[in-house]
Copies of this chain bind each other. A is one copy, B any other.
Amino acid sequence: NALLAEYRLLLGYLGRWLLLGAAVAVLAGTASAGFLVALDWVTSWREAHQWVIALLPVGGLLVGLLYYYLGQSVEAGNNLLLEAIHRPQAPVPLRMVPLVLLGTLLTHLFGGSAGREGTAVQMGGALADQLTHRLRLRPRDRPVLLIAGISAGFASVFGTPLAGAVFGLEVFFLGRLRYDTILPAFLAAAGADLVTRAWGVGHTHYPLLAAPALSISNLLLVAAAGIAFGLTGRLFAATTHAVGAFYKNRIAWPPLRPVVGGVVVALLVWALGTTDYIGLGVPTIVAALQGPVLPYAFALKLTLTALTLGAGFKGGEVTPLFFVGATLGNVLGLVVPLPLPLLAGMGFVAVFAGAANTPLACTLMAMELFGHECGVYAGLACVVSYLFSGHQGIYGAQVVGEPKHRRWLRQQGKRLREL
């Protein structure tokens, strides 16, 4: 009868996505594991041989030539994946995987300031997209696989399956979440995280954050901090885009851009006399969750990352956003009477929530990384930050699903970069 037919269908659907999710998980989780190991190695080597930073322009040339001669079809990176979800066209070229991997490792080896989620997400998405034609799946499965790949890449590179799953569902729209792909996203994310751990690759351990009971004054303080986080998330996105536009307008030959960018960043690092603000910056993030750090650390990281990524180096924006947020939260501790680690943890997720327009993924991430006690603080900070970053963000191909304020109702359906 009808009920039986319904459950045969649902069981088939579950079984199908257990298998496809497993395939995506193995691909994305393994790619993330290899990437994390290589990134670790590259970072240690750079820190042990800091003279290599003087060669950052050479690294820039390598990345530039790589993408100019082999990678023009995948240059758009994360945005290419978002476009493919919104308007499926040709498959995402598989070369995205080695190119973004190599480009990111070169960027980190020579001392650029960048992240890793872009790399993991692009590897996950591009690998997952291969399954569509290799397994002769229907075209309508393609966006689902892409979402699963993005969820899997994000989940496995940070060790946060729930945040990864919801990130994949949340990222291609501003103000909308796709429920019809919720099962594939969760299965792929949980599976990929499992695969990465099964390879023996661990993640940064952050301290669990204690939080006082919410009070009226604390709620207002969180809202105020959320405004600062949202403005900073927007500033990050705007600066990176502006640097990119500047290089594009001034330097006609693309491979030259990261060369010049490399000179600028290397000189800044030399002037600063520290490598704290390049690479991923994980030690500083951890420090910011524990005690006071330099008050303008967030501005340095924001600047160096915009100069690195805007010039055409590769990597992601998210770990730098964590850095900017954690150190900004930390410095807010000078004036905001909330526990400093809590403020840093709120900033960690909320600047990212504002810059990527993914408040729910970031709320889940806070609980996965810092424990459940900080949940309501992180959630409020993410939501306020989401509101105050406006219709801007690091992903230009993100489409406005529901405007943040009804004043911008006419922007519905447009890409962020068109606004």
| Residues of A that sit less than 8 Å from B by CB | 6-7, 9-11, 13-14, 18, 140, 161-162, 165-166, 175-180, 182-183, 186-187, 190-191, 193-194, 197, 213-216, 219-220, 223, 227, 359-360, 363-364, 367-368, 371-372, 375-376, 379-380, 383-384, 386-388, 390, 401-407
Contacts and interface: CB of A to CB of B under 8 A. Distances in A.
Contacts of A13: 387, 405
Given A6-B390, A162-B363, A372-B368, A180 B175 contact: yes
A213 B11 CA distance: 26
A402 B190 contact: no
A383 to B, nearest CB: 5
Given A178-B402, A182-B387, 14 more contacts: A9-B407, A161-B375, A177-B360, A179-B404, A180-B406, A183-B383, A186-B379, A186-B383, A191-B219, A193-B214, A194-B214, A197-B213, A368-B375, A371-B372
Provide the main secondary structure of the chain A interface.
helix
A262 B367 CA distance: 44
Contact of A223 (B18, B383, B390): B18
Nearest to A403: B180
Nearest to A177: B177
Contacts of A364: 363-364, 367, 375
A77 B372 CA distance: 32
A120 B244 CA distance: 52
Contacts of A359: 182
A13 B407 CA distance: 11
B194 A375 contact: no
A178 B402 CA distance: 8
19 contacts: A7-B388, A10-B404, A13-B387, A14-B227, A18-B220, A18-B223, A165-B379, A166-B360, A176-B177, A177-B360, A182-B359, A182-B383, A182-B386, A183-B383, A186-B383, A190-B376, A193-B376, A194-B219, A197-B213
